[in-house]
Chain A
Amino acid sequence: MTAARIKALVWREWRIIRKGYLSSMIMLFMVAGFFWLIRLSMSVGNLAPIFGDSEILKEFGGLLYYSGTVLVAVVAYTSITDVSVLTADLNANWLRYSFALPITPAARATSRYIIKLIKLAVGFGFAMLNGVLSAKVMDIPFTSDMVWFLTALLAAMILCDALSVFFNSQARTSAGLQAAQVKVMGTMITVVMIVSIVRILRTPPSEEVSLDDMINSLREAFISHESILIPLSLIGIAGGLVLGWYFMLRHYRTHGDVNEKAEKGILFSLRKQKGGETS
């Protein structure tokens, strides 16, 4: 019966996110496809007479392969966040209602993570496809280091998502969810800023740093530490998934305590409405 319940919850969540998720994937595919077409046109199509074998063509090709693949991966991976579902659940009062249903906390958390795993698999597949096609369009080999680099990115995104689950699961209102998002974004921006500042401080003042350079240097750094980073990435993926699942499970197990906080808020607002009278 637990499997049937998980299946029902997975279907329900899929039904909620389906439209938005498919739209974002189609959009991503169209944007990636648009760049492939431009690159093709620059090398063999109408734009070929203008660009030929120019440096711009090579630079654009590099951008398409490295930055494009990474950006596609990042965008595809970010779809694992379930903010839209959480918001929809809160707005529809489903969360309150669902605690009256015969669903165990483990079944709830597992159903959420099944959706996440499907999205991750699709995101990873999509990023790989983009990488393979970009490499083919540019006529360069698609090497294993890109696969591992995408895997490391996946680990980073899963760990970020676990952080997001930790903050989001404590929210009981849409406003609370927004505040949780600010906390998640704040933490992530702080990390990115620290990394960027370190990178800027290490760059000679005369040298210009493009996005492509940054991603390339990141990738080179990854390749040079491959023996450590590959196992670390795999541990990060497994650890991030388990940690996120645990945060979600804990949230569903201790929902009473969290609801208690929300209820205190409701009582407080009732008292305020009654001009301080306790009821």
Chain B
Amino acid sequence: MNDYVNAIEIKNVTKKYDGFTLDNISFDVPRGSIMGFIGQNGAGKTTTIRCLLNIIPINAGKITLLGMDHIQHEQEIKERLAVVFDELPFHDIFNAKEMGRIFKGLYEKWDDALYQNYLERFQLPQKKKIGQFSKGMKMKLQIACALSHGAELLVMDEATTGLDPVVRSEILDIFLEYLQDEGHSILMSSHITSDLEKIADSVTFIDRGKILVSGYKDDVLESHSIIKCKKSDYRNIDPEDFISARVTDFGAEVMVSDRAAAERKYSGLLFEQTTLEEIMVYYVHRSMKEWSS
């Protein structure tokens, strides 16, 4: 097993389509951490994941997974990583036992006992057809399959989307448990930022194919802030100092990315703690600078 510092290293990756470009993106997922990969639908999250997995070829840049080049060592990497998609990719006719049989053949390090353990823990019936499973059960089955071959890296593409809060919470606990092993890392793509606020160590925010923010979650949350002020005060804020502003009849809410500098410059204004969701929304509106609703 090779030694590596970052489970994922993406350096200047570009992927061009007609009308959409994943534009020279770079970010790292440190080993033993969980990174939230956030952005609205169509921002480029899934395209990035497909590039990672070499499902689609990149036009430029370099991707290193688990310390190995993602093309040269594709098979070895795929043996050591697991992917969880938003929808269960298994046929309805199979049952959990049969899926175990298939995965046992596909993965060298498949641990049948661990898989059975997950099935019991998730209360998933062995012989019931997957087609009769609820959405939560389907997601749990996919996670059981993903975690039963000793994967060092878990890549999730909108895995918690559409699940009820109870199941989501249960699943987030499993991910935290998975991260107890220092060699395990997670890249979790989602637009449900509340989940990421709970469990992510770091976040990367992508919009229109560009990485806008990437860093430790706490740093990102501390450096960003919302200034709540009157419209008259808002007019005195230099547009260069903020990302975008939500202006309503009642006043303005202005997102700044350098809280410390803004607090020094606009000392009389009220600075409030922000959330990942707010950061995402204000960045999405950055080209308009001022928006309402």
Q: Which residues of A contact B (CB under 8 A)?
A: 1, 4-5, 7-9, 11-12, 15-16, 88-89, 92-94, 96-104, 255-257, 259-260, 263-264, 267-268, 270-271, 274, 278-279
Closest Cβ of chain B to A166, distance in Å, is 22
Of A9, A15, A270, A279, which is in contact with the most chain B CB atoms at under 10 Å from its CB?
A279
Q: A96-B55, A97-B89 are in contact. Are A267 and B83 (CB under 8 A)?
A: no
A9 to B103, CA, bound (A): 9
Closest Cβ of chain B to A275, distance in Å, is 13
Closest Cβ of chain A to B186, distance in Å, is 15
A15 and B93 within 8 A (CB): yes
Q: Of B17, B85, B89, B101, which contacts A263 at CB under 8 A?
A: B17
Q: Of B17, B54, B85, B87, which contacts A256 at CB under 8 A?
A: B54
B230 CB within 8 Å of chain A:
no
A257 to B50, CA, bound (A): 12
Q: A256-B56, A263-B56, A270-B41 are in contact. Are A102 and B78 (CB under 8 A)?
A: yes
Closest Cβ of chain A to B154, distance in Å, is 11
A100 and B55 within 8 A (CB): yes
Our count of residue pairs bridging A and B at CB distance below 8 angstroms stands at 101
| Interface bin, chain B | 35 or more
B42 and A279 within 8 A (CB): yes
Q: A4-B105, A100-B83 are in contact. Are A270 and B42 (CB under 8 A)?
A: yes
B24 CB within 8 Å of chain A:
no
Chain B contacts for A12, CB-based, 8 A? 102
A233 to B284, CA, bound (A): 63
A99 and B55 within 8 A (CB): yes
Main secondary structure of the interface of A (DSSP, over half): helix
Chain B contacts for A7, CB-based, 8 A? 105
A94 to B53, CA, bound (A): 15
Chain B residue at minimal CB-CB distance from A262: B56
B20 and A92 within 8 A (CB): no
Closest Cβ of chain A to B25, distance in Å, is 15
Q: Which residues of B contact A (CB under 8 A)?
A: 17-20, 40-43, 47, 50, 53-57, 75-76, 78-79, 81, 83, 85, 87-94, 98, 101-108, 155, 208
B107 and A102 within 8 A (CB): yes
Of B42, B47, B76, B104, which is in contact with the most chain A CB atoms at under 10 Å from its CB?
B42
B208 and A8 within 8 A (CB): no
Closest Cβ of chain A to B138, distance in Å, is 11
B91 and A5 within 8 A (CB): no
Q: A92-B91, A92-B92, A260-B17 are in contact. Are A100 and B104 (CB under 8 A)?
A: no
Closest Cβ of chain B to A237, distance in Å, is 29
A259 and B91 within 8 A (CB): no
Chain B contacts for A102, CB-based, 8 A? 75-76, 78-79, 106-108
Q: Of A1, A15, A101, which contacts B98 at CB under 8 A?
A: A15
Closest Cβ of chain B to A51, distance in Å, is 47
Chain A contacts for B208, CB-based, 8 A? 278-279
A69 to B94, CA, bound (A): 36
Chain B contacts for A1, CB-based, 8 A? 108
A99 to B88, CA, bound (A): 15
Q: Of A9, A16, A274, which contacts B91 at CB under 8 A?
A: A16
B93 and A96 within 8 A (CB): no
Q: A5-B106, A97-B89, A278-B208 are in contact. Are A260 and B20 (CB under 8 A)?
A: no
